Amino acid sequence: MRLLIIGGSDAGISAGLAARKYDPTTDVTLLVADAYPNYSICGIPYHLSGDVPDWHRLAHRSRADLENAGLNLLLDHRVTAIDPQAHAVTTGTATLGYDKLIIGTGALPAIPPINGLDQLGWTDGVHVLHSMGDMFDVQNSLHQRQARTAVIIGAGYIGLEMAESLTTRGLHVTMLEQLDQVMPTIDPELAAHLEHHLTARGVTVHTGTKAQAVQANDGHLTVDTDNGTHQTDVVLVVTGVRPDTTLAATAGAELGIRGAIAVDRHMRTSLPDIYAAGDCVHTYHRLLDQHVYLPLGSTAHKQGRVAGRHACGAAAAFAGSLGTQAVKVFDLVAAGTGLRDTTAREAGYDPFTVETVADDHKAYYPGATEIRIRITGDRATGRLLGAQLLGHHGAEIAKRVDTYATAISYRATVADIDNLDLSYTPPLGSPWDATQIATTAWRRHVDR
């Protein structure tokens, strides 16, 4: 069986490896638009900060590893068309046939309507950050311009990570966010603490501020906003992504939520023998029981594996996502999973959220730090719907949000968390872990 995969990032590589593992006789060929298959785009801020000095270390696997696993890699091969009837794709130099096709084209930067932005590029010091090529452009720009200042437009995950990265390099960073808080995926109550932490680390933060124009003048850049003007050496535009669906849509594939490729739980598209996975598709949400657009690396890996296995005949299905995420910002980690009040209410739940502050381990053992935890549950059924956490990066925030994510996945109630047999030793936790202290507080408030 000839399996052709478009894309060499998380979804594409996972699909190819899964297909070969399930059926080693499958002929798997990946068409990769650049020369960097299986590189961690999520790791880019940590190379730019100097935490990962060698960019080659960002590769999950080397090219040799992938080829030894039985994958045929065609690098610098950009697909220009898909012909579903002929079961073939066209690149700039050739036409390749397939029996099954998996589309893993990912996402593209969502560029906001800022005057002058379309006329400037990396040579002017204006950047997006979504590929290895973008990373090299930023690196070159910082060196060539001897940058001392940076303006980051967008205070989401990548914007926050890059604020730390560039500050670590010695730049003064100014963040501009159109919404009224940093990290819009958490509640304002936690975002306020995160913003204070950024400010304490020397980052200038302007929320409720819309960038209106960017201009290049005498080797420097000017960013005009509805709340003032900022002079800077480099500008980074990280305002989210949109699904890259041109190939699929042109071939006739049905599009779904937010223009992403519509797929079923087996990752099949509306076109025969064509699958899609990763940031280019919409995602089944476990709690909502419907599709949403949630572009996440962890989700792309899982969807790719399902697509690769199902294309080879396995009874594979995508279990769904909860949008579980975590981000490190200097000394803090913010994390969340499941639903917040607004989305839960729109989905028909009766949500109630309670915030608790608890120590990450016994206070008498040195180094204890506070964790802020917001628990969202359904008042009618007691079902756990979501959790948000903010705490020190040594406080196992990611582990604790994963505890909640696991519980939600198996339809646990808030009360069920109290009964979990969680580990305890004074340097690492308490007899009642912080995760349980938070759920107990939720029940106490609901029972009043």
Which residue, 143, 161, 136, 158, is CA-closest to 58? 136
pLDDT at 65 over 90: yes
Q: How far apart are CA 370 and CA 386, in angstroms?
A: 20
pLDDT of residue 92: 84
pLDDT at 122 over 90: no
Q: Where are the domains of the chain?
A: 2-41+58-107+243-311, 117-239, 326-446
CATH number for domain 2-41+58-107+243-311, candidates 3.60.20.10, 3.30.70.330, 3.50.50.60, 3.40.50.720: 3.50.50.60
Reported as a pLDDT band with limits 50, 70 and 90, residue 93 is confident
Collapsing DSSP states into helix, strand and coil, what is residue 109? strand
CATH number for domain 117-239, candidates 2.40.30.10, 3.50.50.60, 3.90.180.10, 1.10.579.10: 3.50.50.60
Please, which residues bridge with residue 373 across strands? 356, 389
pLDDT of residue 219: 80
CB count within 10 Å of CB 252 equals 13
pLDDT of residue 193: 98
**Residue 116 contacts by C-beta under 8 Å, 6 or more apart in sequence?**
213, 214, 215
Domains 117-239 and 326-446 share a fold: yes
Q: How far apart are CA 213 and CA 117, in angstroms?
A: 7
Q: Give pLDDT tens digits for 202-224.
A: 999 999 999 999 999 888 899 99
pLDDT at 166 over 80: yes
Q: Give pLDDT tens digits for 416-436.
A: 999 999 999 999 999 999 999
- CATH says 326-446 is which class? alpha beta
pLDDT at 448 over 80: no
First to last CA, the chain: 62
SS3 for 154-203 is CCCHHHHHHHHHHHHCCCEEEEEECCCCCCCCCCHHHHHHHHHHHHHCCC
